[in-house]
Amino acid sequence: MEFILVVLAVMLAILLGWLLKQSFNTQPWVAEVVEEGAHRAPMNANAKVIALAALLAVITSFFALIMSAYALRMDLGDWAPLTEPQLLWINSGVLVLASITFQWTRNAAMRGDASKLRPGMIVTGVLTTAFLIGQFVAWRQLNASGEYITSNPANAFFFFLTGAHAVHILGGMYVWARATIRLFTGRGAQTVRQSIELCTVYWHFLLLVWIVMFGLLLST
Amino acid sequence: MPFAVVLILLVVGSILFHIFSPWTFTPLASNWSMVDFTVDITLWVTGIVFVSVNLFMAYCVIRFRHKKGEASKAKYEPENKRLESWLTGWTALGVAAMLTPGLFVWAKFVDVPEEAREIEAVGQQWHWTYRYPGEDGKFGEVDAERISADNPLGIDPEDPHGQDDVIVLSPEAHIPINQPVKFLLRSKDVLHNFTVAQFRVKMDLVPGMTTYMWLEPTVAGRYEVLCEELCGVAHYTMRGAVVVEDDASFRAWLAEQPTFAETQNRVAGNAALGAAQYAICSTCHGQQGEGMQALNAPKLSGLSGWYLRRQLLAYQNGLRGAHEDDVYGAQMVGMANMLADDAAISNVIAYIQSLPDEPAPTTIDGDIDNGARLYATSCRYCHGEDGMGNQATNAPRAAGMSDWYMARQLQNFRDGVRGSHLEDYYGMQMGFMGRMLRTDEAINDIVAYMNTLQPVVADQLTAGTTGNNE
Amino acid sequence: MSYVAIADRDHEVEHHDPQTFITKYIWSQDHKVIAVQYGMTAIFVGVIALILSAMMRLQLGFPDSFSFITPESYYQFITMHGMIMVIYLLTALFLGGFGNYLIPLMCGSRDMVFPYLNMLSYWVYLLSVIILLISFFVPGGSTGAGWTLYPPQAIMQGTPGVDWGILLMLLSLAVFIVAFTMGGLNYVTTVLQARCKGMTLMRMPLSVWGIFMATVLGLLAFPALLVSAIMMLLDQNLATSFFMPAISSMGADPGYTGGSPILFQHLFWFFGHPEVYIVALPAFGIVSDLLSTHARKNIFGYRMMVWAIIAIGGLSFVVWAHHMYVSGMHPYFGFFFATTTLIIAVPTAIKVYNWVLTLWEGHIHLRVPMLFAIGFIFTFIHGGLTGLFLGNVTIDLPLSDTYFVVAHFHMVMGVSPILVVFGAIYHWWPKISGRMYSETLGKWHFWMTFLGTYAIYLPMHYLGFQGVPRRYFAMGNTEFLPASAQDLNAWITMSALFVAASQILFFANIIWSLTRGPKADPNPWGATSLEWQTPDTPPKHGNWGHDLPECHRWAYDYSVPGYADDFIPQNVPPDEAPAGRQHDVDEH
């Protein structure tokens, strides 16, 4: 459980650090005019950014807990390390590419370069879908070689971790799909821009989760 | 005003309740007086805080409550750093005073003395069994996959250390007084917890691993073992006992218990020899063991060997048939005592198991639906959906047996005529079940339902593959 | 995500009030309506759980007297009672109910920042409740594994509901967690983002602080429950061995190998202990505001109170294994967790001191909410102090798994938060409904609940000292227990039935108020926080009419020297003399 504790400590420290920067050392009983904006969120972020940050904290906690359970379960006698399919390296590359293209799309959106948005979104979507399909194929390869979820706790964790990661990507794809549809129907240009911005962060985050997870799977 | 008075009365009442409560710790019977000492310290510290803070609060309510027409205002005081630091400091001190002895005692609990005698307590749904190391002082290896009717503790037969392990297939363990004992705790199925209130210590049994706790009993006597981790519907009936006695009695008791090797090499009973002994049984129970209601003798054929043996021993040892209202049981005591030794018991059991197993005639009517409901809520867990019994849960067969007899036994269990002997642990469990059947109608309903359960594989039973190997 | 935070568009004064009954009361995105929906649903399941507890008390007080209570149903009752009370009542009511109602009003915003998500949160919560209730009626009934759902027993034979009951339970929890996360993201974002002008963090009422920190804890801790629920579902349905070791269950081998039941316990309590504070912190916050308002005095040591909330929240993540001292985990953990657990007593004690010191030199109006608030302090002191027994690893040896534990956590997590819930409902009822309730009925309700619960739980501790184990359907003939222990159990049952019956007074009061209650003053208690300063009572959709309020002071300006009134609302500017109404409601 050390892993989750470290992760939590970091997240709580960030929250606490920010709270400290607020008016903690004022004497709250003194009625005085406070400066404009003191009631605002950190870094002038808007509500959606804060909500996304909180959501990412929740997801971090979720994955950190699974990995902590992984570490605890690994120490029990019957653990037989799983040889991960080579395909996962290709999948990882695809996911990295998806993050890059999303970032590229986002930069275009920030610049107001509308012509690059549609191709950018499509390419990102294709790459991400390819990643999901690749993950599914990797599962099939494992099953074909006789590695089932029940064969060993290492297998069970492999399927659980990759499955949970894929579900989170699917959740992201839902928002991506809404943004893309809006992009093509031309409604709500402003919100599309923000959707792209937030989705990019989410994609990078899930890439990071994947890298940590993949590293853990490879090293054990 | 009344509010403050009630608060004060509650504080005073709590103190009085504490002082005069007849409900308090059971007398200590182990070396863990330090646990009680830590409890006392904590009671004093928390008691003082409880009384002082609540009385202060009551005082505030009396002194500063709003009175009609009074216009005074509250004092304006946002904070008082000095007072707050002072309170924090004292609280920290009080906490430290409670924690320090706690950690000290825990360190002792974690650190088992070298010379402690190891005893293994094994839990299962819903019984206790025990294992003592043999002459070599070492336990044999165990493995859940080896657990079977013949090897209920799952000991590795290949491991030489295991051969002389002493097996106690009874919920009662004996330990010598004034010697440290380390209980190794192991579960076959789910979580359990080994607790003896008088010893003050307890620990969970976790399947897949061995946990431990240690103590040194200081007072001779018989102490109840309770399972204190929810382990299923019959959790509350999972009882046992630890008997603390002097070293000589302990050694004598231990010598009577079989070793693992002995349990594995039991000579099978000789049915031919048993036939002669059965002759006297047959006058009441019938030539074919079919039972005769007129003589109050139930059907025997089809019963498992382990169950017949346990009942015969129970009659012999006074666990059964000793209650003054158990007229028919008393008759059996004399009969059971005619079986002179273990071999005689084995032989007669072997003969009974060779008898044809015809379903007993039904004599009792009842509401089968209600019976089915009752059976499903409790009986089935141990006796099985099919009523064929299960050695693993120490539950005998009910399907196809004499219904009038089972009805009478349920009444006996309910009324404490059977199963109220302290050492009759299995009867005690049925006592709990029987007491839920408050009316004779309910008993008849259950028995009527059990009549509908047709024995599935009567042939196999008589062929003697199950439970016949004692 | 087409909606924009309402606070971000202050210029849009035009608020389209929902027109039809359905959009107003059913598919409503108004935080106040959602709060009431959450509250009503939570109280509804709470009543079910109360009935379940009455049934189990009947069995314990008068064993073998009621044929409809079998061991099977008894264990189902205790399981569902515990789970409903902890998760579906208290968590949902404090965060979904009070959190929803109070955060936007106290922070001076028009609504939650994501109203649609907020509505969705309630409906998903309702779905989880429905799944939970369905589990009573599936074959085999609901699970009887105890609310901790420990494997292997939760999914092995020998326990009621091992097929469908546990499946639906885990499913319902997973759905609940989704609902909570939707709500929780909203509460956190609203507190951080949508406060009105001048509402700095250190000016927020402690209710908001408590709910905010509890939400943070919930967001980070509930994933642990989700992870363990998913893993147990896999163990049950796909025969993985996360938690399941090789076992022999009633003579049969179910085919598991090598898993660890203790792993489940770690995950469960990693959620389970913060969960205690998810319930406690909102109660701490709310009771602070009740005490301050009705004692006409600022909460004593506000900054310390905020710090204590944060410290307790943070520490609550490093004490979980004190539920596992005798679980068979490595015994050396005992040293660490006993120390952290007793350290958490210090900030908790500070909160108690500050509540009591708020009364000192106050001007105490013993109205119904105040009775409940002071009653809370009493029961919380009791429950907190008994926690020092159980948190201390050595004393846990004799007392864990006994009635002492049951008495302790009911005192600290059952009675205390429920007293706050009632106090809070009585306190904010005039604002929620626009009507007053019967003070007399309210006082009767308080006295019967407060004295009745103490009559239940004080003696129960002594059953624990005696060694009576919890989760026992019947004690039977247990030698070391005196016969009088059963008499005590009968007394406890009578008290419990008395308390359960006396809750009728609460519902009677609600009905009386809704039908005949006099119209409420917009600020009947003379409170300072913003929710009492709304232009309408009850507040309309959008809360503040044309202009958002501006906050100029903290929420505790009571009896400030030099002012005629004994309170100054948060939205009164510093240079403006407070409005002249001399506040005095006489009630004695």
Tens-digit pLDDT profile for residues B333-391 = 988 888 888 888 999 999 999 999 888 888 999 999 999 999 998 899 999 999 999 99
The pLDDT assigned to B116 comes to 93
The answer to whether B22 contacts chain A (CB < 8 Å) is: no
C527 and C466: one domain?
Answer: no
B91 and B145: one domain?
Answer: no
Looking at the complex, report in whole angstroms how far the Cα of residue C494 sits from the nearest Cα belonging to chain B: 18
Asked whether residue B237 is domain-assigned, the answer is yes
- Return the percentage of chain A with pLDDT > 70, whole number: 90
The answer to whether A49 contacts chain C (CB < 8 Å) is: no
C438 and C457: one domain?
Answer: yes
C502 and C531: one domain?
Answer: no
B332 and B190: one domain?
Answer: no
Asked whether residue C396 is domain-assigned, the answer is yes
Q: Is the pLDDT of residue A38 over 60?
A: no
Low-confidence ranges of chain B (pLDDT < 50): 458-470
C501 and C530: one domain?
Answer: no
- The enclosing H or E element of C214 equals helix C206-237
- Name the A residues in 110-129 with CB < 8 Å from any C CB: none
Asked whether residue C360 is domain-assigned, the answer is no
For B430, the token pair is 């049925």
Chain A's closest residue to C568, CA to CA, is A31
> Where is the domain boundary, C482, C514, C546?
C514
Strands B172-176 and B239-245: parallel
Please say whether the beta carbons of B320 and B407 come within 8 A.
no
For B95, the token pair is 């906490």
Asked whether residue C220 is domain-assigned, the answer is no
> Where is the domain boundary, C514, C529, C545?
C514
> Where is the domain boundary, C489, C514, C539?
C514
Instruction: Please state the φ and ψ torsions of residue B225, each to the nearest 5 degrees.
Output: -100, 130
What is the sign of the dihedral through the CA atoms of C43, C44, C48 and C54?
positive
How high does pLDDT run on average in chain C? 91
B206 and B302: one domain?
Answer: no
The pLDDT assigned to C10 comes to 40
10 Å CB burial of residue C134 (0-12, 13-18, 19+) is middle
The pLDDT assigned to C574 comes to 81
C58 SS3 class: helix
B141 and B249: one domain?
Answer: yes
Looking at the complex, report in whole angstroms how far the Cα of residue C256 sits from the nearest Cα belonging to chain A: 9
C435 and C505: one domain?
Answer: yes
Tally of domains in chain B: 3
Looking at the complex, report in whole angstroms how far the Cα of residue B77 sits from the nearest Cα belonging to chain A: 10
C502 and C371: one domain?
Answer: yes
- CATH 1.20.120.80 residue ranges in chain A? 84-220
One DSSP character per residue, B377-415 reads IIIHHHH-TTS--BGGGTB---TTS-HHHHHHHHHHHHH
C475 and C452: one domain?
Answer: yes
Q: Say what the ipTM of the complex is.
A: 0.92
Asked whether residue B470 is domain-assigned, the answer is no
A186-190, B134-138, C55-59, C374-378, range with the lowest pLDDT = A186-190
Q: Determine the Cα–Cα distance for residues C481 and B452; give it in Å rounded to an integer.
A: 41
Q: Which domain holds residue B6?
A: 2-66+81-110
One DSSP character per residue, C376-397 reads HHHHHHHHHHHHHHHHSHHHHH
- Return the percentage of chain C with pLDDT > 70, whole number: 95
Q: Residue C419 CA to chain centroid, in angstroms?
A: 10
B130 and B97: one domain?
Answer: no
Please say whether the beta carbons of C351 and C412 come within 8 A.
no
User: Which residue of B43, B72, B77 is the best one to mutate when testing the C interface, meaning the one whose CB has the most C CBs within 10 A?
Assistant: B77
Q: Pick left, alpha or beta for residue B290 (phi over 0 → left; psi -120 to 50 → alpha; otherwise beta).
A: alpha
Asked whether residue C444 is domain-assigned, the answer is yes
CATH number at residue B383: 1.10.760.10
C276 SS3 class: helix
One DSSP character per residue, B162-173 reads HHT-EEE-SSEE
Looking at the complex, report in whole angstroms how far the Cα of residue A3 sits from the nearest Cα belonging to chain C: 13
The pLDDT assigned to B469 comes to 39
Q: Which domain holds residue C585?
A: 521-588
Inter-chain contact C240–A156, Cβ cutoff 8 Å? yes
Asked whether residue B71 is domain-assigned, the answer is no
**What pTM does this model have?**
0.93
Q: Determine the Cα–Cα distance for residues A205 and A104; give it in Å rounded to an integer.
A: 16
Please say whether the beta carbons of C206 and C282 come within 8 A.
no
Q: Is the pLDDT of residue C83 over 60?
A: yes
Q: Is the pLDDT of residue C360 over 60?
A: yes
The pLDDT assigned to A33 comes to 65
The mean pLDDT value for A167-173 works out to 96
C321 SS3 class: helix
B443 and B394: one domain?
Answer: yes
How high does pLDDT run on average in chain A? 87
Task: Choose among B147, B223, B431: nearest Cβ to C476.
Answer: B431
User: In what side-by-side order are the strands of the sheet with B239-245?
Assistant: B172-176, B239-245, B221-227, B192-195, B202-205
Fill in the DSSP letter of residue B34: H
B233 and B375: one domain?
Answer: no
B106 and B156: one domain?
Answer: no
SS3 content of chain B, % helix, strand, coil (to 5): 50, 15, 40
The pLDDT assigned to C26 comes to 83
Tell me: domain A84-220, CATH 3.90.1150.10, correct? no
B294 and B250: one domain?
Answer: no
The pLDDT assigned to C365 comes to 93
* Three-state SS letters, chain A: CHHHHHHHHHHHHHHHHHHHHCCCCCCCCCCCCCCCCCCCCHHHCCHHHHHHHHHHHHHHHHHHHHHHHHHHHHCCCCCCCCCCCCHHHHHHHHHHHHHHHHHHHHHHHHHCCHHHHHHHHHHHHHHHHHHHHHHHHHHHHHHHCCCCCCCCHHHHHHHHHHHHHHHHHHHHHHHHHHHHHHHHHCCCHHHHHHHHHHHHHHHHHHHHHHHHHHHHHHHC
Q: Determine the Cα–Cα distance for residues A54 and C114; give it in Å rounded to an integer.
A: 14
Asked whether residue C554 is domain-assigned, the answer is yes
B249 and B276: one domain?
Answer: no
Tally of domains in chain C: 2
Chain B's closest residue to A77, CA to CA, is B208
Inter-chain contact A72–C263, Cβ cutoff 8 Å? yes
Q: How confident is the model at residue C12 (pLDDT cuts 50, 70, 90)?
A: very low
The mean pLDDT value for A132-145 works out to 94
Chain C's closest residue to B239, CA to CA, is C478
B78: which chain A residues are within 8 Å (Cβ-Cβ)?
27-29
Inter-chain contact C241–A150, Cβ cutoff 8 Å? yes
